[in-house]
Amino acid sequence: MEKKDLFGYPYAQLEAEMLSRGESKYRARQLYGWIYEKGVYDFEKMTDISKAFRETLKNEYALSFPKIFQRQDAKDGTIKLLLEMDDGAKVETVLMRYNYGNVACVSSQVGCNMGCAFCASGLLKRERNLTSGEMVGEVMVLNQILKEEGQNVTHVVVMGTGEPFDNYENVISFVRVINEQRGLAIGARHITVSTCGLVPGIKKYGREGLQINLAISLHAPNDTLRNQIMPISKAYKMPELLEAIKDYEENAGRRVTFEYILIKGFNDSVDCANELADLIHDSGIFAYVNLIPINPVKEKGFLRPSGEAIHAFHDRLMKRGINTTIRKEFGTDIDAACGQLRAKYQKSTQ
Ligand code: SAH
């Protein structure tokens, strides 16, 4: 029998699981206490739980840590891990150190089917979804590394490999576990889920009653350009996408962030900046824009604009009244771009 991974259970769901076994729901509290407060992962050592039930836990449940298969440390403190799951699947997880905290960039799938032209993750098709427990495991492994420095993960972005809304339920469970006060207690405003624009997911997410941030990978101010780099834009066209984002903003009461990769000679002109400003203003969406100078992926042949072009784009958006930031870059001396480490590993084994 496959053991159930306790890392995957949001608190309320663990209570329900315990009740369904005829145990008191207080068991959930004990388990969360051992796991997330005390850092005890061996059921045998959970001494306030009866011996008989500890035996059941041992036989039917697990607390499964991904194994560190490869580790790269960058000069700026960025750590990139290639993790190995129980079935051998390899997944990338990155730790970035901002001045405001330790940010974990978590993968949501093994490979990705979205096929964005500029992205290394899409070089490898989706093999399967990650479970919520495996995603919690990604954060737990980073926490174990940070513990040696007396620190822990303070922020999580679901911006690793995979499309979170193509694995909706598991991602929501994951978010609930890390956000849970008795769990990892990472504040909702410190958690960001990023989507390439899956409309049904955006609408559903707005109704979860979570105060989690939502980022939308836009990357172009119109469908003509977007179609060339993001196949998803053929399934959900700009008007439909914008409508879903408005729906989200109304239901969640939160603003979204548009991510916009700057690609030299493709979408980095001041005209594009103006068109983006028009698009945002006309839609009535209250969005921030986060500009990401493209992390060139050798296999793809996309180039990064000059610093001047990046700043001109930024300044134009600001002048047009749109709150815009340029993403800080980390780990440029290691394979830090999405999917690079895994793609390289996979290639080396072929
Ligand atoms: N599928 C989700 C989340 C994973 S990608 C999404 O599309 O949002 C996380 C972010 O990294 C996205 O904005 C994605 O477009 C961006 N990204 C992918 N490849 C990149 C590259 N080579 N350089 C810069 N950003 C990249």
Closest residue to atom 18 of ligand 1, CA basis: 119
**Domain range annotation of the chain:** 4-62, 67-349
For ligand 1, is residue 94 a contact (CB within 6 Å)? Answer: no
Model pLDDT for residues 302-316, shown as the tens digit of each residue: 899 999 999 999 999
Mean pLDDT of all residues in the chain? 93
**67-349 matches 4-62 in CATH topology:** no
In angstroms, the Cα distances linking 14 to 4, 19, 20, 174 are: 11, 9, 10, 13
Give the containing element (helix H, strand E) for 94: strand 90-98
Give the containing element (helix H, strand E) for 251: helix 238-252
pTM for the predicted model, two decimal places: 0.94
pLDDT of residue 345: 65
First to last CA, the chain: 33
Q: Which residues contact 133 (CB under 8 A, 6 or more apart)?
A: 5, 6, 7, 8, 9, 64
Closest residue to atom 11 of ligand 1, CA basis: 159
pLDDT of residue 198: 98
Closest residue to atom 13 of ligand 1, CA basis: 217
CATH dotted code for 4-62? 1.10.150.530
Q: Token pair of 139, please?
A: 């954060």
Model pLDDT for residues 261-297, shown as the tens digit of each residue: 999 999 999 999 999 999 999 999 999 999 999 988 7
Provide φ and ψ at 348, rounded to 5°. Answer: -70, -20
pLDDT of residue 350: 52
pLDDT of residue 344: 66
Give the containing element (helix H, strand E) for 310: helix 307-319
For ligand 1, is residue 212 a contact (CB within 6 Å)? Answer: no
176-180 — which CB contacts under 8 Å span 24+ positions?
A: 176/10, 176/11, 176/12, 176/210, 177/7, 177/8, 177/9, 177/10, 177/11, 177/132, 177/136, 178/136, 178/139, 179/210, 179/212, 180/10, 180/11, 180/32
In angstroms, the Cα distances linking 50 to 35, 55, 57, 156, 160 are: 17, 9, 10, 35, 40
Give the residue carrying structure tokens 């899409």.
Answer: 122
pLDDT of residue 328: 80
Provide φ and ψ at 130, rounded to 5°. Answer: -85, 145
* Among 250, 246, 248, 244, CA closest to 232: 244
Q: Establish whether 338 is a catalytic residue.
A: yes
How far apart (Å, rounded) are the C-alpha atoms in residues 118 and 300?
6
For ligand 1, is residue 232 a contact (CB within 6 Å)? Answer: no
* Among 313, 230, 227, 197, CA closest to 264: 313
Q: Which of 259, 262, 298, 328 to mutate to test the pocket of ligand 1 (most atoms within 8 A of CB)?
A: 259
Q: Establish whether 92 is a catalytic residue.
A: yes
Given a cut of 50, the residues of the chain with pLDDT beneath it are none
Q: Which of 93, 193, 194, 202 to mutate to test the pocket of ligand 1 (most atoms within 8 A of CB)?
A: 194
How far apart (Å, rounded) are the C-alpha atoms in residues 24 and 178?
23
pLDDT of residue 347: 64
User: Could you tell me the fold of the domain covering 67-349?
Assistant: TIM Barrel (3.20.20)
How far apart (Å, rounded) are the C-alpha atoms in residues 17 and 282?
48
